[in-house]
Amino acid sequence: MGTAPEIANQRIVEALVSKLRRRQVVGSRQTAIETVLVLRQVISKARFSNIEHLIQIIKAVGRRLVQAQPKEHTVGNTVRKVLHHVREEYHAVSRAGPSSAQPPKSSFSISKFVSQGQPRKQNLTLPKSEARSTSLRENDPDDPDSFAKGLKPVLMEAIQDVLDELETVYDNVSKSARDHIHSDEIVLTIGHSKTVESFLKSASHYRNYTVIVAESAPSFGGHKMARSLSTAGISTFLVPDSSIYALMSRVNKCILGAHAILANGGMFAVTGSLLAVSAAQAHSTPVVVCAGQFKLTPLWNLYHEYGALDFADPSSVLGFEEGSLVDKVDVVNPYFDYVGPELINVYITNDGDHPPSSVYRLIKESYDDEDHEL
Amino acid sequence: MPSAVVPLPEAAGQSSAPPGTLPAKSQKQMTKAERREMQERQRAAKAEKATQNQSKNSPKSSNKPAQTSKEGALAPRRASKAADLAPKGFQGAGGQSKDVKASGEDKSAHTRGLRIFSHFGLPKPTAHKGEVHPTIVRLGLQFSEFKITGANARCIATLTAFKTVIQDYVTPPNNTLSRHLMTYLSPQISYLVSARPMSVTMGNAIRQLKLDISGTDIDLPEQDAKDALCDKIDTYIRDRIIAADQVIEETAGNKIKDGDAILTYARSSVVEKVLLAAYADGKQFTVTVVDSRPMLEGKKLLEVLSFAGIQCTYLLLPAVGSVITEISMVLVGAHSLHSNGAVFSRAGTALVAMMAKQHLVPVVVCCETYKFSETVQLDSFTRNELAPVELFNSFPQNKQQDLSSLSDQPNLQILNPLYDLTPPSSITAVVTEVGVIPPSSISSIPLALGRTML
């Protein structure tokens, strides 16, 4: 359309798109935070006269971002979460008023529970919107901006909520660390996950235990993890991936991080996780996954696609220093593993602990059905 | 560390006169087990005192090698003796660590974890006791630098070196070759063991050699006896290794069909021969080589196979989960087979076998019968070996890692176990020169060979 706010929007979005495409944004949480900031700017500058228009704008931005980096699922998740909050706030405000039909508390049928998300959450947002119970007029021909002006402050608050949740992810996940790790336990972890790192460090304030870190070739994230854990005073062993099965008979639990949690309860995690989890199952060792709720993805069919594994640079596996071997040999270097839900025992998220079988419910609560396809 | 000093008199008190049960017995009256316990406690107390003096200046990480090398010194020497002493030796180390644990509970609450791997033992610096033949010295150096790796290679190298030693040997007067040669060989063997813990193959071969030596006819002139021994060694290598490999090549080659996708892990000399022979036979198949740190042996196998013209794929161990669905058979080698059907092999084999079994891919282990060991191994902790960190710094050029700065961190220890145990449930079949057998029948290999002892 060419109006100034639209051009400004495009510039912000394009900046993030190119960062995503070049993989300059590293880490799911960082990506999520940047996405939220971009969406906040887009919404604050957007001009819309009814809710559908706003949702279309957000979805368009979301589609651009997801196309830039489809393997980075937190982008899509954050967009969906913002959309969910937008719809909630809108419903709350438009229902605000003495004659508001509150969801009848008396009839708790399962279908209502599942289709409306948790009633508890809606009640929370209600008081905020009731405070400013102006009646929103959609599509007002005299004052096209009144709807937007009325809704925007509420939306900004909702987005701030999302941002706050993202920024306190590590603290909230680590809250229950003390109950999960006991004295003199031996814990196995793979590669480098900031969530797991903060989980283990917070547990170390209360317990003395040992961590075995598998180095996860070829990214060798385990080296960073081992260094940071041992600096924090936790006694750490750094081992190559080949010894995971050998050491598993002494390991008390397996604590891993996730890249994305799929709707069926499975997850994408750094390569090597499938080996560790399978070995843990062979030894009946519990598997605990620490992840923020922003990693919950409503998509679940991804693991059938071989490409979902996001392949990385083959020269880390077989470099050019190997000479003539390089063009005779195929080298495979996937970055992620798909781990099925039957192999995981519990997900520790910033919103509590959940078994993989109830992940679908968390997704119903956090996102709206119509947003699954952006 | 005041807390650790206090319990020492306790430990000493325990050893001298535990009240009530044992009124002061002399050493002769105590049973062997009690004597051993007392020795262990005194040694633990001494070790504690020694480490206390060291720990004031040096960080814990250098403390650990001092302690682990001491305990590691116990482990290889005990492992080299006959199998019946091995459980007692392990118990001894376990008892020692338990005592130290009890005495330094609060200090070592977090170092207890570091101690559960202490029995793996890094090779300690070699000590010359008695004369060691220069060939053996060179061999020991090659072993400790990991220039010769692999069960077959090490066994052949050891036997060849012993042939030279035997030829150079001169029976001293008033001694018979059959009796004195064994005592002459003992320090050579312990030198090799101190360079690197002995493999099962070396153990079996040396046991056979000792049997042959003791069976030498006393009346034979010395040179004839020595020649006969060298002949026997040659026969052993030829029959149990070379010829066995040829039979395995054929048998396993029959299992490979056109269009197969074979997966192999690290580098096994037998599997290499099988694949090259099958390809030379004209079979069309592709090979996926899975490799892993610390030794990255798969690269050498990859070179050999691709220069022979076989189409290969190369990947690192963590990526196995993504390709296993395309694989039709997994071929691995072994370091040794155990009576309960378990296969002791390069670290990482257990993971590959487990993944393959989960996806219903047959796992075939190629192994000669001389690798059979009478002992039963339950998990990878009973017997294992740690590779020295400095030797295995191989990282690809674009991802250089700084292991030296990592190993200096307190609270951090880098472990490189070299072996692991694949349970019999993950294995489909073992191909030996006596046939293709399921893992549950491995204990009947001696029977199949027609003798009661290997």
Task: Answer yes or no: pTM beyond 0.90.
Answer: no
pLDDT of residue B57: 46
Asked if the Cβ–Cβ distance from A243 to B299 is below 8 Å, we say no
Q: How far apart are CA A193 and CA B381, in angstroms?
A: 28
Average pLDDT over every residue of A200-225? 90
Displacement of CA B286 from its chain's centroid (Å): 31
Asked if the Cβ–Cβ distance from A315 to B112 is below 8 Å, we say no
Tens-digit pLDDT profile for residues A48-95:
888 888 888 889 999 989 888 888 889 999 999 999 998 888 888 887
Tens-digit pLDDT profile for residues B205-243:
999 999 998 888 888 888 888 899 999 999 999 999 999
Its CATH class, for the domain covering B255-380+417-444, is alpha beta
- Please indicate whether residue B404 or residue B82 has the higher confidence score (pLDDT): B404
Do strands B343-346 and B336-338 pair parallel, antiparallel, or not at all (unpaired)? antiparallel
Long-range Cβ contacts of B223-226 (<8 Å, 24+ apart): B225/B177, B225/B178, B226/B166, B226/B167, B226/B169, B226/B177
| CB < 8 Å from B in window 168-187 of A | 183-184, 186
Whose tokens are 């009144």? That residue is A146
pLDDT band at B104 (very low <50, low <70, confident <90, very high): very low
Contact (Cβ atoms closer than 8 angstroms) between residue B132 and residue B193: no
pLDDT at residue B387 greater than cutoff 50: yes
- Please indicate whether residue B186 or residue B75 has the higher confidence score (pLDDT): B186
pLDDT band at B384 (very low <50, low <70, confident <90, very high): confident
Neighbours of B228 (CB within 10 A): 15
Q: Where are the domains of chain B?
A: 2-12+29-90+126-243, 255-380+417-444
Contact (Cβ atoms closer than 8 angstroms) between residue A259 and residue A197: no
pLDDT of residue B313: 93
pLDDT at residue B25 greater than cutoff 60: no
Q: How far apart are CA A152 and CA A36, in angstroms?
A: 15
Question: Quick one: closest CA in A to B420, which residue?
Answer: A246
pLDDT at residue A148 greater than cutoff 80: no
Tens-digit pLDDT profile for residues B261-297:
999 999 999 999 999 999 999 999 999 999 998 888 8
Residue B197 backbone dihedrals phi, psi, to 5 degrees:
-55, 145
Of A110-124, B75-89, B258-272, the poorest mean pLDDT is in B75-89
Distance in Å, alpha carbon of B217 to nearest chain A alpha carbon: 47
Q: How far apart are CA A349 and CA A353, in angstroms?
A: 6
Q: How far apart are CA B287 and CA A298, in angstroms?
A: 38
Tens-digit pLDDT profile for residues B303-332:
999 999 999 999 999 999 889 999 999 999
Q: Which of B117, B306, B412 sits opposite A226 (nearest CB)?
A: B412
pLDDT at residue B61 greater than cutoff 60: no
Distance in Å, alpha carbon of A172 to nearest chain B alpha carbon: 26
**Record: fold of A4-167:** Four Helix Bundle (Hemerythrin (Met), subunit A) (1.20.120)
Asked if the Cβ–Cβ distance from A272 to B317 is below 8 Å, we say yes
Which helix (H) or strand (E) segment holds residue B161: the answer is: helix B151-168
Neighbours of A266 (CB within 10 A): 22
Q: What is the mean pLDDT of chain A?
A: 83
| CB < 8 Å from B in window 73-92 of A | none
Name the token pair of B439: 């893992």
Fold agreement between A4-167 and A171-371: no
Helices (H), B199-338: 200-214, 222-236, 244-255, 269-280, 298-308, 320-323
Do strands B412-414 and B343-346 pair parallel, antiparallel, or not at all (unpaired)? unpaired
Tens-digit pLDDT profile for residues A239-277:
999 999 999 999 999 999 999 999 999 999 999 999 999
Helices (H), chain A: 4-21, 28-45, 51-68, 73-95, 110-116, 119-131, 146-167, 169-174, 177-180, 194-204, 221-231, 244-248, 273-282, 359-366
Asked if the Cβ–Cβ distance from B110 to A235 is below 8 Å, we say yes
Average pLDDT over every residue of A122-130? 45
pLDDT of residue B26: 57
Asked if the Cβ–Cβ distance from B396 to A333 is below 8 Å, we say no
**Record: fold of A171-371:** Rossmann fold (3.40.50)
pLDDT at residue B250 greater than cutoff 90: yes
B195: exposed, middle or buried (Cβ count in 10 Å: 0-12, 13-18, 19+)? buried
- Please indicate whether residue A302 or residue B282 has the higher confidence score (pLDDT): B282
Handedness of CA A233, A235, A239, A245 (dihedral sign): negative
Comparing CA positions, the residue from A80, A85, A78, A68 lying closest to residue A30 is: A78
Q: Where are the domains of chain A?
A: 4-167, 171-371
Using CA atoms, how far residue B117 sits from B30, B239, B245, B292, B324, in Å, is 31, 38, 35, 21, 32
pLDDT at residue B6 greater than cutoff 60: no
Most confident of B3-12, B27-36, B361-370: B361-370
pLDDT of residue A309: 76
